[in-house]
Amino acid sequence: MIGAEAPGVRIAGSEEHLLLSEKNGREYRILIARPADPPPPGGYPIIFALDGDATFFTLAEAVRLQTRKPHGYDPAIVVGIGYPSGEPFDMTRRCFDFTIPAEEGTLPVRPDGCPWPESGGADRFLDFLEFELFPFVGTRFEVDSARQTIFGHSLGGLFVLHALFARTGLFANYAAGSPSIWWGTMRS
């Protein structure tokens, strides 16, 4: 049996936006899963997920399942931060956004022997989050800025640790999965 091509899979209540950052001149693919339930008093908590093209769907579904009433947690918004390429792990972009400057010779040789992509843009990416993405989400939803979480894995986990030390208090919760602490010499 031959079937017709179907539209891509989407999560109910989700939306996608392309944002061009004025802070760093780079474009981001923003995926947002909004709850069906009204916001709790004080607004929705938010989970910001780095590598959104790889992590958004899993986190959005987990939040949907864990917030079912009558016994679930408060409904929450999940914001996946990805790249226009749609690649699960856009190495060129994430290497820039998630890393701090590294001195020559402090990075290991890559498995394929290629040079490392441009790096060291973590502070500019933090500026994008704080001054552009937070307001973008905040104008669309009633949010509780005191209940914001950031999640990242590998280089994303390194960025989460950098955010924790460089801008303590920007998020209420920091989830760093297997952070790449081998990156250069970590300084804040």
Task: Show the tokens assigned to 161.
Answer: 């640790």
Highest mean pLDDT among 21-25, 69-73, 98-102, 156-160: 156-160
Is the pLDDT confidence value at 184 over 90? no
Tens-digit pLDDT profile for residues 122-163: 999 999 999 999 999 999 999 999 999 999 999 999 999 999
Tens-digit pLDDT profile for residues 4-59: 554 566 778 899 999 999 988 999 999 999 998 999 999 999 999 999 999 999 99
Position 3 scores a pLDDT of: 53
Beta bridge partners, 153, equal 177
SS3 of the chain: the string is CCCCCCCCCCCCCEEEEEEECCCCCCEEEEEEECCCCCCCCCCEEEEEEECHHHHHHHHHHHHHHHCCCCCCCCCCEEEEEECCCCCCCCHHHHHHHCCCCCCCCCCCCCCCCCCCCCCCCHHHHHHHHHHHHHHHHHHHCCEEEEEEEEEEECHHHHHHHHHHHHCCCCCCEEEEECCCCCCCCCCC
Position 134 scores a pLDDT of: 98
Is the pLDDT confidence value at 188 over 50? no
